Structure 1
Amino acid sequence: MTSWNIAVLGLGIIGSRASKNLQQAQAVGDSGIASVTCWNRTPKSQPGELPTLEEAVASANLVLLYLKDSVAVWEVAAKVLACPLEGRVLVNHSTIDLATTKWLAGECAAQGIVFLDCPFTGSREAAAAGGLVYYAGGPADWIDKVEPVLLKSGKSVLRCGEVGTATIMKLVTNLISACTVQALAEALATATSHGISPAALTEAVDLNASGSVLAAMKLPTMATGDFDTHFSLANMLKDSRYVLDLAAEAGLDTPSIRTVSARMAELCDQGLAEKDYSALAAPYLKA
């Protein structure tokens, strides 16, 4: 078994919980985890957090990126790549555009660093409970080696293929989630405007072919205006723009996500950016 000295870079909603799970695994004597350090651009005062990125990665042979977007990945990765990391492993868990994933893979290859493309699905509670699902792209043997670490915050690792495939998988599944929540918002507004209770609609959807884990999770909170952040509207907007770029590159017209993306941009401009993306229902609650 490989013994990992792990550096977690990015301590937002997911990174902070992933780091905590890894530290707990180390504390109970997991022989695969020798040490866990972490760092965030804005200090979080989290256990194991070091003041500089350079200190966090100094002894790490496995560096995990949990960052907000492509801009953050470019900024942080440039600093990481300036450190002596030859022979080590860099794993990107951030949801970013395909071009940035390919850039990062190329830079790592040039410096003798193993790179894995591993975004995830799942939000705050899933990360805390070890219930994330990681999409993994890259050399299969290295995914096998890193998988035990991923399973400290995840329940499964889906192998997608070469580097870039996991990024695409993450973006297209988020397309489905964004469009589904917009549809749920419209259904909720239309049904309740005609006297149907949110509870009755939730039960009907649950029994219908349109029912899903996502619908069961979001409909009840959307009905009460509870937009506590599990995955922010700003992040979903960002991902919708990345997937629109993918579609354009393939010469595809994707009217559903284009329309939902525009709607999310409007709501972000209205001050809802840091709310959960189920805030797509917010305009109907004001009606």
Structure 2
Amino acid sequence: MAQNLIKSGCDVTVWNRTKSKCDPLINLGANYQSSPKEVAANCDVTFAMVADPESAIDVACGKNGVASGMGPGKGYVDISTVDGATSKLINEHIKATGALFLEAPVSGSKKPAEDAQLIFLKAVAPLLDIMGKSRFYFGEVGNGAAMKLLVNMIRGSMMASFSEGILLSKKVGLDPNGLIEVLSQSAISAPMYSHKGPLMVKSLYPTEAPLKHQQKDIRLALALAESVSQSTPVAAAANELFKVAKSYGLGDADSSAVIEALKAKSFSRLDSA
């Protein structure tokens, strides 16, 4: 996303908790600052993409956080996947400085980000258009976060079911690649199946969307469902499967590595995870 902003001619300043991750962007012409506070102080609009609610709050509201460098005329856009309560808390801190806050979680992983094909779930106008292909507005702060959690909950449930289908096709003597081809031409066709399926058949899981983040998103979606007394048994089962995969040390692998939790796992072990 930052590369696309740089390529479009934007004046980009970057920061990361691991400075070496900024080096490729600095080599492309980005400036570097030593803290979120300094980034915000030197930029009109600051974007944040971090892993979880705790990190989002720390980057925005912690010591040397973004809020410390904000003020009237500036804007803060959080494109992380967090829960609504986190978005609302960050919004309060940012607005208290006189700046503007926008939650804009994205749907898409590494390749869509590189190709500027992300889907932004709230609008901040031309800068989002540089990084993505579409944007949606859902009203008050918290709604964008909720929509992203729903999308990722469904995605995780689909991946769990897809994994079962691949393994079952093998067990009954069918070519799993044939299953993928049939799915690609069926009413339930999804780019995820045709993109990740052939790699899953070969037990290859190059990381695009880390498994640990997928499980985090399902967990947050389940908490959202619990808050409104909505039953989500399919997502709950998928969450348990992703938890088992994490216990195998697959948290940093792609979310498609969840299939490994099914290969040698009994239902009794899964149910007790």
| Distance (whole Å) between structure 2 residues aligned to residue 55 and residue 258 of structure 1 | 41
Structure 2 residue 98 is matched with structure 1 residue 112:
yes
1:91 maps to what in 2? Answer: 77
Q: Contact conserved, 1:172 with 1:243, CA < 8 A, in 2?
A: yes
TM-score, with length taken from structure 1: 0.85
Match status 1:82 vs 2:65: no
Indicate yes or no: 2:8 matched with 1:25.
yes
Question: How far apart are the structure 1 equivalents of 2:227 and 2:73?
Answer: 34
Asked if 1:69 corresponds to 2:55, the answer is no
Q: Describe how 1:197-276 pairs up with structure 2 within 5 A.
A: 197-276=175-254
Q: How far apart, in 1, do the equivalents of 2:239 and 2:263 lie? A: 20
> 1:206 deviation in Å?
1.9
Deviation at 1:283, TM superposition (A): 3.4
Cα distance change of structure 1 residues 84 and 202 upon mapping to structure 2, 3 Å threshold:
closer
Q: 1:57 maps to which residue? A: 40
94-103 vs 275-284, greater mean Cα deviation: 275-284
User: Conserved in 2, the CA contact under 8 Å of 1:130 and 1:155?
Assistant: yes
Partner of 1:3: none
2:172 to 194, 200, 208: 194
Q: Which residue of 2 aligns with 1:131?
A: 117
CA distance in structure 1 between the partners assigned to 2:18 and 2:71 by the alignment: 24
CA contact (8 A) 2:244 2:261 kept: no
Helix, strand or coil for the counterpart of 1:151? helix
Question: Partners in 2 of 1:54 and 1:163 — Cα distance?
Answer: 22
2:269 equivalent in structure 1: none
Matched letter for residue 40 of structure 1: N
The secondary structure found in structure 2 opposite 1:160 is coil
Aligned partners of 2:94, 2:130: CA distance in 1, in Å? 25
Give the direction of change, closer, same or farther, for the CA distance of 1:273–1:220 in structure 2 (3 Å limit): same
1:57-107 alpha-carbon deviations (Å, 9 max, x no partner):
222110101111111111110111122423311101000011101111122
Name 2:14's counterpart in structure 1.
38
Q: Provide the rounded CA distance (Å) in 2 between the counterparts of 1:208 and 1:150.
A: 33
Matched residues in 1 for 2:224 and 2:117: separation? 28
Q: 1:124 touches 1:230 (CA, 8 Å); kept in 2?
A: yes
Q: Secondary structure at the match of 2:121?
A: strand
Given that 1:178 and 1:260 are in contact with CA atoms closer than 8 Å, whether structure 2 keeps it comes out as yes
Mapped to 1, the partners of 2:193 and 2:37 lie a distance apart of: 43
Identity value in percent:
28
Paired letter, 2:256 = S
Shift of 1:56: 2.1
Whether the 8 Å contact between 1:90 and 1:113 is mirrored in structure 2 is yes
User: Judging changes above 3 Å, is the alpha-carbon distance between structure 1 residues 223 and 285 closer, same or farther for their aligned structure 2 residues?
Assistant: farther
Q: Is the 8 A contact 1:225 1:285 kept in 2?
A: no
SS class of match (2:242): helix
1:284 deviates by 4.3
Specify the alignment match of 1:185 in structure 2.
163
TM-score, normalising length from structure 2? 0.89
Higher mean Cα deviation, 100-109 or 225-234? 100-109
Q: Which amino acid aligns with 2:199?
A: T
**Aligned counterpart, 1:169:** 147
Show structure 2 runs of 5+ residues with no match: 266-273
Any gaps of 5 or more consecutive residues in structure 1?
A: 1-17, 27-32, 137-142
Whichever structure has more strand as a proportion of its residues is: 1
Aligned to 2:76, the other structure's residue is in SS state strand
Deviation at 1:262, TM superposition (A): 1.4
DSSP 3-state at the match of 1:182 = helix
Instruction: Compute the RMSD of aligned alpha carbons.
Output: 1.5
Cα deviation for residue 50 of structure 1 reads 2.5
